[in-house]
Each structure stands twice: as structure tokens, then as C-alpha cells.
Amino acid sequence: MAAKTVNISNPFYDPDYKPGQLNEHELWWIERQEVIEKAGYRFRPRFRQGWKPPWEGTGRRYREFEDGQPLVWRVCIDATRISDCQTVMLKHIPLEEGPYELQINRKFSSEPLLSNPRNHCAPLRDVIELPGDDPIMVHDYLRPFDDPRFETYGEFVVFFGQICEGVQFMHENRVAHRDCTLMNIMFDPSEMYPEPFHPAAMKRSRDFQGKARRYTRTRCPPRYFLIDFGLSREYDPENGPPLESVLRGGDSSAPEHRDTDIPCDPFPTDVYYLGNLVRRELMNASTLGIPCYNGLEFMLPLINDMVLEDPSKRPTMDEVVARFETIKKKLSSWKLRSRMTLEDEFWMDLWWRRVRHWCRTVGYVCTLKSAIPERR
């Protein structure tokens, strides 16, 4: 290789470590780059055979270069689909993890489930089969659900409604997600971003020459998706409520997971994950050092029930969806169009943003943009 690799588990203990050099996970993809390109997917220059760091000898930091942007995820890589130049995400599934993730992806990406509007599982676009190697799934390139931040309560309502609908749809088909947490909820940015953003530095344009230009969720409503079915399992309803060993994902706080020796039903845990996501990441995020949103008190009764200590007392996803529909109907158009403020906003910034928001909102009202901006 033209560039030295490093084990990313503790690179700073390597005396020869140089910031920006390739790590072991990037090397895994580079070794398969030519085969994957023949399958129709092209990597960024950094991940091609023979790559050399362009910043060496320039005196500039590696992060200033497009080639200096490393992989965001260990088992995933962004690529360009050669046929239409669209950015996609490739994910390899280690053989030792079993067939579940690929099976469940295929289940929800096949008819009749695929075309069901309540299906919010990220569609599987392709599978690259390499002889004797990990299978590689191809998905659209999605963006974290909270980046950029929500502007209005109507935008939040759409997000929560779609994700609850998606988990409800999975449960109806006897599949528990088991990790529907912060990192596994995304949205399709294709409408909001008129020009591509960089997959590893999402605030930058794809060519790395400036900021990525975007619209608001109200102007160009996105669709939200669930990803990562590595812990998901499908159950036979004839066997009754399932009891599974504890598998912890992105949220290890579920009460039923405190004792890892006691099997539990994963369906109520999915309910807990969604409730705790709103409680911890959006309402009480200050406990994590992240500013939380004001004005979500209308969600408290439902969220409190979703995170009850006793899983058997939590509402089912059917009940969550029905109760949230009732909550949504009680929200006024004024509330739905109001700006979601953060608790730590400086008062001068707050007033400027508020004026700008209402000027923009007048335009949305005049052009008949819905207070609950939803794209199906």
C-alpha cells in the first residue's frame, strides 16, 4: 500500500502514527475496491488502490482536504453508484453475525411490504455477493434524523409519527427492531438538499468547496427511516410472546435489561427505546451536555407511559400510534408552526431567529405549505 495503516483501537500509542492515515477498517474496503467497482460502485479517492495523502509536505492539516475525511462507520462506506452518480451507503455484514440482518432487510424490501406507505425500513437497493466473503448491502445514503435540527413542532410531529408508524409496521409483521435508538433513525435528504452534501462532513458540499445548501423540512418534507437490523428478529405468533436473552444496542438503559440473565419480550423494549429517545435526546438532553428543546410538554403523558419500569404496563405500538394521533389533533396550527427553541439560546439570537422564522412562515402559509409537513 502507498499509505501506512493503523489500528484505530488506540492509534495514539503507535509511535509512527500520523493524523489522517488509513485505519484497519478503511483498509478492509480498499482491499475489495476493484471488485466492488466492477459491481457498479466507486469509492472516494481516499479508498482506492494506490492512494497517497495529498497534504503531506503542504504544511496544512489533513482535515482541510476532501481526501482527509475518514469513514464515519466501522462497517460502512459511502460510494457513488456509477449508473446514476447517486451517493449510496455500503455495509458489510460479518459472516459470524449470522443471516438475520440480511434476511430482515430483504423481507421489508420485498413486495407486498416494500410499497406499503407505513413501511419505514430503509429499502435494500442491492446486495454484492463476494465468494467466501462478507455480503455487502447497498442502501440509499441517509442523514441522521436530527441533523439539521427541527425548526417547528409540526416537523417534530411528522418525525415522531412516522417512526412510531414504522416500528408499529414491523411489530405487525412480528419483527422486533431491538435497537430503534438514536443512531438508527435517519431521513432521506434528497428533497431537502438540492445539491449533494459530503458523506463524511455533512455540513460541507460534496466537492468540499463550501457549505451544503439546504431547505427546511417544512418546505421540502423528508421521509424518515429505520436502519440497522443486526439485532432484529422475526417471531412466530403461534409460539406466543417471545422471551429473548438481553441484547443491548445503542440504549442500555431499559429497566428489563438490568439483569442480563432474565429473558424478556423485545416488543415492549422497542416502545421504551422510542419513548426514551424523545425524553433523553430531545426533552432532557441537557443531562448529556446537549441543549434540549423547549415546548414539548404535550408529549409528557405519552412518553412517561412508554418508559414505565414495568414492560407489561407500557402501551403497545398500536396504542402509541393511536394516542399520538389524538395528541396531534389537539395541537393548534399556531403551535405546529411555532419555532422549536433550544434552552440555551442567547436572547438576542433568539429574537432574531424568531423574527426570521415568522417571516419565512408567512411565506409558507401564503404558498399553502402544511403545518404538518409530510411526504409519503
Q: Identify which of 21-25, 29-33, 57-61, 349-353 has the greatest average pLDDT.
A: 29-33
Pick the closest to residue 288 from 299, 277, 279, 280 (CA basis).
280
- The pLDDT-based confidence of 291 (bands split at 50, 70, 90) is low
Q: What are the tens digits of pLDDT across the range 200-252?
A: 999 999 999 999 999 999 999 999 999 999 999 999 988 888 998 988 899 99
Mean pLDDT of the chain: 91
What is the structure's pLDDT at 12?
42
Q: Are strands 41-42 and 76-81 parallel, antiparallel or unpaired?
A: antiparallel
What is the structure's pLDDT at 11?
44
What is the structure's pLDDT at 290?
59
What is the structure's pLDDT at 57?
87
Q: Regarding predicted confidence, which is higher, 356 or 33?
A: 33
Give yes or no for a contact between 181 and 277, defined as CB atoms under 8 angstroms apart. Answer: yes
Q: Regarding predicted confidence, which is higher, 346 or 75?
A: 75
pLDDT above 60: residue 10: no
What is the structure's pLDDT at 274?
98
Q: Regarding predicted confidence, which is higher, 167 or 293?
A: 167
Q: What is the percent of the chain with per-residue pLDDT over 90, rounded to a whole number?
A: 78
Q: What is the percent of the chain with per-residue pLDDT over 70, rounded to a whole number?
A: 93
What is the structure's pLDDT at 329?
97
* Residue 197 dihedral angles phi and psi, to the nearest 5°: -100, 165
Whole-angstrom Cα distance, residue 205 to residue 68?
Answer: 15
Q: What are the tens digits of pLDDT across the range 313-341?
A: 999 999 999 999 999 999 999 999 999 98
Q: Which residues contact 366 (CB under 8 A, 6 or more apart)?
A: none
What is the structure's pLDDT at 313?
98
Q: What are the tens digits of pLDDT across the range 136-185?
A: 999 999 999 999 999 999 999 999 999 999 999 999 999 999 999 999 99
Cis peptide bond upstream of 112, omega within 30:
yes
Instruction: Give CA angle at 157 (138, 333), nearest 5°.
Output: 140
pLDDT above 50: residue 6: no
Q: What single letter denotes the amino acid at residue 166? A: G
All three cell numbers of 59: 504544511
pLDDT above 70: residue 2: no
Q: What single letter denotes the amino acid at residue 117? A: P
What is the structure's pLDDT at 1?
43
What is the structure's pLDDT at 155?
98
Residue 332: how many other CB atoms lie within 10 Å: 10
The answer to whether the Cα torsion of 190, 195, 197, 199 is positive or negative is positive
